[in-house]
A and B are shown apart, each in its own frame.
Chain A
Amino acid sequence: MATRKFRKQEETFFIYLMRLACLSIVVVMGLILYSILKKGIPALNWKILTTVPEGGFYFGGEGGILNAILGSLYLAFGATLIALVLSIPSALFLNVHLRKYTRLTNIIRLIIDVLWGIPSVVYGAFAFSVMIWVGMRTSLLAGMITVALFITPIMLRSMDESLKSVSNLLYEAALSLGSTRSEISVRIFLKQCIPGMITAILLSFGRAIGDAAAVLFTAGFTDNVPTSLTQPAATLPLSIFFQLSSPLPEVRERAYAAALALTVIILIISVSGRLISYKFTRNDTK
């Protein structure tokens, strides 16, 4: 048997180790934000945010990243919209119509959880081969559809988590008043979970705007702002990726500015998601 003193010392040692691990995560996050800010802030100015690159995104030193900012926003909005159309009905069906079939819903949840893990590059490769098959070229629309496929499991699962928390009493009360299941879905479950839905949408929007591997072959890249769905579109992650490898320092500056812009967009999304879920957290009757 270990002595009492040794047992105490062992615990103290591990507590310090755990604090160290915890601290290291905070430090790494600080380091990441610091290095992005340090490189990004000098490169960032009004002109770079509001002009498209001149003389090619790779060799032209002039101009900015407006093409990528707008392209990314268009793409993420479109993809989120498509994902929404798929996710809301599926999530409601899972939680209202299949409420009593716990085993089945859990198996479906398992499948969606597994889907969540498929790497985006696989979605990109799959979508690209489908595009060749149907004779579609790289375009904003193709990018939107690919990214939508990629974020749907994420959106669906987080909506599902929030719908799951609606109390059974509410469901049964509505049923006893003679509502059909669809009415319960839309008028009660959806309404009850609006904050959760918004959080889910923001989360998937953040994923959509930050992903590069899925749009690499589907959305293409261009120096212009797309004006229709069939044109290729630039995105922020790809503009960072391409411009960072340029031999010209001015072009690399643009990549740093784009990285900062992307990080700021992501931070805004993540903070507002937290605020919404914090503000709307209520004490429901269980």
Chain B
Amino acid sequence: MILRKISRRLKDMQTTIIMVVALCFVLSTPLLIAMGLGYKSMALFREVPILNLIFNSVWEPASGNFGFLAYIISSVLITLLAILIAGPVCLFTAIYLTQYARRAVMRFMQPVIDILAGIPSVVYGVWGILVIVPLVSERLAPYFNVQSTGYTLITGAVVLSVMIIPFILNILLEIFRTLPIELSEATLSLGATKWEVIKHVLMRKAKPGIISAFGLGISRAFGETMAVLMVAGNVAKMPHGIFDPVYPLPALIANNYGEMMSIPLYDSALMVAALFLFLSVITFNAVSRIAIYRLEKKL
């Protein structure tokens, strides 16, 4: 009897230790990544001051010139454009599905969102090349009297916006569902229309959540690699309009792995790009998530 009790205790301890180790490992990955990337980046940081890297747009690895400005601007522009397209669509759809639509509509939309969320980014890239690239080069650009190959800032932004729609939409749906129903009932009883309730009460209440959802969408778009790599054109120059090709940071990393070993400091420069990407995404994510947790009263 006592022996059995001891063996159960031992087993309990054993299992608990395994669990703690697994959890600690998972939680330590961001630290490991930051340390690994930081260590690799040091080689370049020692040669060139950080500000020179960020505010220089000349990228000539062979002569030791590593200016990230064109890449950073590309990333920022493509992300902002994508969120500008995706944001309103997501917001309107989320309000419609939670406030107006019948249950059947929601039941129809859920698989649609699931499918969009599941499609791999390469397939989005293929779709971009098949549909959006010709659309931009043959219809949109001629309409504005611009010559364009179709592999441009706007192409990348459109593909990216479609990719982040399911992601933002799911968070927004969650947020609108957690809003207390008494809030809208009280305003409805004062004679407001449903839209007025949404505009004046729900939107105000959900504002931090909406902003955070967009923040998460931004960080998702900022790190998205393959689809953007396939349709954005990848020319490392400052873009002057939406019909110019761009070269975002993730595409830079993905495109140059093969050749980086032969040029000194090149691998370090790519790690700087990865570190920059990592830090900005983590920051954006953390701020947005904390705001959402606050809103849902979890913190």
Q: Is the CB of B96 within 8 A of A262?
A: no
Q: Are the C-beta atoms of A89 and B36 separated by less than 8 Å?
A: no
- Assess whether B93 is in contact with A89, with CB atoms less than 8 Å apart: no
Nearest CB on A from B77, distance (A): 18
B147 near A: Cβ within 8 Å?
Answer: no
Measured CB to CB, the nearest residue on chain B to A241 is B122
Interface residues in B247-299 (C-beta closer than 8 Å to A): 250, 253-254, 257, 267, 270-271, 274, 277-278, 281-282, 284-286, 289-290, 293, 298-299
Tell me if B162 and A212 are in contact (CB < 8 A): no
Contact B162 A122 (CB under 8 A): no
Q: Does A173 have its Cβ within 8 Å of any Cβ on chain B?
A: no
Q: Is there an interface contact between A119 and B250, defined as CB atoms closer than 8 Å?
A: yes
The reply on B126 being an interface residue by CB < 8 A is: yes
* Dominant secondary structure of chain A at its interface with chain B: helix
Chain A interface size band reads 35 or more
Q: In this assembly, does A21 line the interface, its C-beta being within 8 Å of a C-beta of chain B?
A: yes
Q: Map CB proximity to A onto B179-217 as digits: 1 under 8 Å, 0 otherwise.
A: 000000000000001111000000000000000000010
B23 adjacent to A89 (CB under 8 Å) = yes
What secondary structure prevails in chain B residues at the interface with A?
helix
Across-interface contacts of A198 in B (CB, < 8 A): none
- Listed by A's residue number, 18 A-B pairs whose Cβ atoms lie within 8 Å are A7-B196, A21-B96, A22-B92, A90-B19, A94-B23, A112-B26, A119-B222, A121-B254, A122-B37, A125-B37, A125-B270, A181-B16, A244-B129, A259-B123, A266-B120, A266-B123, A267-B115, A270-B115
Task: Tell me, yes or no, whether B15 is within 8 Å of chain A by CB.
Answer: yes
The number of residues on chain B lying at the interface, defined by a beta carbon within 8 Å of a beta carbon of chain A, is 91
CA distance A118 to B274 in the complex (A): 11
Which residue of A has the minimal Cβ distance to B278? A122
The one of A18, A21, A110, A267 in contact with B293, judged by C-beta atoms closer than 8 angstroms, is A110
Q: Is the CB of A90 within 8 A of B290?
A: no
A53 lies within 8 A of chain B by Cβ? no
Chain B residues, Cβ within 8 Å of A120:
223, 225
Interface residues of B (CB under 8 A from A): 8-9, 11-12, 14-16, 18-23, 25-27, 29-30, 32-33, 36-37, 40, 88-90, 92-93, 95-97, 100-101, 105, 109, 111-116, 118-127, 129-131, 162, 165, 169, 193-196, 216, 219-220, 222-226, 229-230, 250, 253-254, 257, 267, 270-271, 274, 277-278, 281-282, 284-286, 289-290, 293, 298-299
Contact between chains at A182 and B130 (CB < 8 Å): no
Contacts A28-B116, A113-B289, A212-B225 known; 17 new A-B pairs at CB < 8 A: A11-B194, A17-B92, A25-B165, A29-B112, A32-B127, A86-B26, A113-B285, A114-B30, A122-B37, A126-B36, A129-B40, A152-B26, A240-B122, A241-B229, A256-B126, A262-B120, A262-B123
The reply on A41 being an interface residue by CB < 8 A is: no
